[in-house]
Chain A
Amino acid sequence: MPIIEVDQLHKRYGSTVAVQDVSFSVEEGEIFGILGRNGAGKTTTVECLAGLRAPDGGRVRVAGHDPLTDTAPVRRIVGVQLQDAALPDKLRAGEAVDLYASFYDEPADPRAVLGALGLADKADTRFKDLSGGQRQRLSIALALVGRPRVAILDELTTGLDPHARRETWALVRQIREMGVTVVLVTHVMEEAERLCDRVAVIHDGRVAALDTPAGLIATATDGGPRASLEDAFVALTAPADADGARPWPFPFPVAR
């Protein structure tokens, strides 16, 4: 049985439809990528998974539980690393992990989690004195300290330098080796191509494609030797009217 099932998810904010119709399922132990352009509906989708938003239609299940009505088990099962979430400036890394561990009945040892994330020597460092990569790793530590079965990682490597990004990727693989299912939200195609077992490409609130990275490259590009997931993504998420140049948008002629 899949650990995550999303079936015909629909969510709008006022008259704006954020998610039109999204369905996918994630198997236990997978690294599942959710890709899409800015505003495609990725974050809304994972917020519905985490129980942070109520869908307007469709069905979401996490390990068989409805995140909205069956909140307690879902909050135990799912660890979330949110895009742009910060901590108080003067909170020390060790205190943050201790605090989040205190929320759960059977947490991991906070020191061991810090160690596993390469932050063992940063336990006494205040949040504001951590580097971007260290903050990101601390955020992952908070998502993992409750020993979740599913980790949702949203825009994990935004703003990280190439070294920190690679380290974070290695970390995601380790998380999976520990038996945690990973849902990775990203618009960094290289990240998805290297990490994900399967990816769902969300475009205009719908699943435009769902396959392995290699499968997507094969079907959505000319399949040349240099074709990348980014080529496939661009082909899948192009605006409907965008074959070739757009018409001149200004009410005066082009100077020739």
Chain B
Amino acid sequence: MSTTATPDALSPTTARGPSPGRRRRPSQLLRTQARLFLREPVTLLWTLAVPLIILVAIGAAAGGKHEQDLGGLRVIDTYVPTLAVFSLAMLAVNVLPPTLATDRERGILRRLATTPVRPSRLLAVQLVIHAAVAVVSLLAVVAVGRLAFDVALPDPFPAFLVILVLTGASLLAIGVLIAAIAPTVRAANGLGALAFFPLMFFGGLWIPRETMSDTLRHVSDATPVGAAVGALQDVTTGGTWPSVGALGVIAAWGIVVGVLATRHFRWQ
């Protein structure tokens, strides 16, 4: 091995001269993890491109006809809220859990615990990155909906922000809970997929909430994605604040699941 030992480079800090490195840089963890995220093309495709592809496909195929059984809305109007939440749900339950499970399974969290940085910092950084990507995707869906298909912009805007924050928090909490209870990365993948399909079904990905039977619609109202899509519908096409009930459902999921996730999360 060509180890040209440079004792000064590695000498312990007691024998310190001027420090050759820089001082502690807390942003480095965020930068590194963001870079790793961007190196997963399949994830980027699913979370950034797929919602837009579905949006354009539905918009082009279903056209701008106002449908009687959609309460006078166009198909595209009902899909913008669903697709706006699509990436968030995907990131929270399909992408985040295996990522966290990998960090745990490979001993990365344990390894961090031996450094001055707490493993909880890595968890926080992952949440920030996943939330940020979800916001980018969501804004892209809303923008394309507006520009290409004349779907109304969210109004009142503060209501939109409230829905966003609540939905983001409760779906990410579900993701952390999946990572907490999944014993392996494979299990995290499986549980994530298992959660994603019912969440998005009740969020109207396959049949718009407007065409669901009353029973199905009531169930949908009680799920986090269903309630979020309903609330987003209110602020996009309705132009009103969503009901307190809908916001309450989303927040309740966030609180209950968040408590469970915090209680059960294992760092090794």
Contact = CB atoms under 8 A, between A and B. Distances in A.
Are A and B part of the same complex? yes
Contact of B116 (A76, A95, A178): A76
Interface in B1-47: 1-16, 19-26, 28-29, 32, 35-36, 39-40
A113 B2 CA distance: 13
A106 B114 contact: no
Interface of A: 50-52, 72, 75-76, 78-80, 82, 84-88, 90-91, 95, 98-110, 112-113, 115-118, 142, 144-149, 167, 170-171, 174-175, 177-180
A174 B110 contact: no
20 contacts: A51-B114, A80-B111, A82-B111, A82-B114, A87-B106, A90-B40, A91-B32, A102-B22, A102-B28, A103-B116, A106-B16, A109-B9, A109-B20, A112-B9, A144-B10, A148-B12, A167-B1, A171-B1, A177-B5, A179-B7
Nearest to B115: A103
From B3, B36, B39, residue with most partner A Cβ within 10 Å: B3
Interface residues of B, number: 43
Contacts of A180: 10-12
Contacts of A80: 111, 114
A52 B118 CA distance: 12
Given A106-B19, A180-B10, 16 more contacts: A79-B114, A82-B111, A85-B110, A95-B32, A102-B22, A103-B24, A106-B23, A109-B21, A113-B9, A116-B10, A117-B3, A146-B115, A147-B13, A171-B1, A178-B10, A179-B14
Interface of B: 1-16, 19-26, 28-29, 32, 35-36, 39-40, 102-103, 106-108, 110-111, 113-117
A110 B21 CA distance: 7
A86 B114 contact: no
A144 B2 CA distance: 18
Contacts of A84: 107
A107 B20 CA distance: 7
A225 B111 CA distance: 43
A27 to B, nearest CB: 15
A82 B12 contact: no
Given A101-B21, A175-B10, A177-B5, A75 B35 contact: no
A170 B20 CA distance: 25
A179 B25 contact: no
B5 to A, nearest CB: 4
Contacts of A171: 1, 3
Contacts of A112: 6, 8-10, 20
A88 B58 CA distance: 38
A177 B11 CA distance: 9
Q: Which 6 A-B pairs have the closest CB atoms?
A: A112-B9, A102-B28, A107-B21, A85-B107, A167-B1, A86-B106
B9 A108 contact: yes
Contacts of B40: 90
From B5, B29, B108, residue with most partner A Cβ within 10 Å: B5
A134 to B, nearest CB: 10
Given A52-B114, A146-B115, A102 B29 contact: yes
Given A86-B108, A88-B36, A178 B5 contact: yes
Contacts of A100: 115
Contacts of A146: 115-116
A147 B12 CA distance: 4
Given A82-B114, A88-B108, A99-B29, A105 B24 contact: yes
B1 A85 contact: no
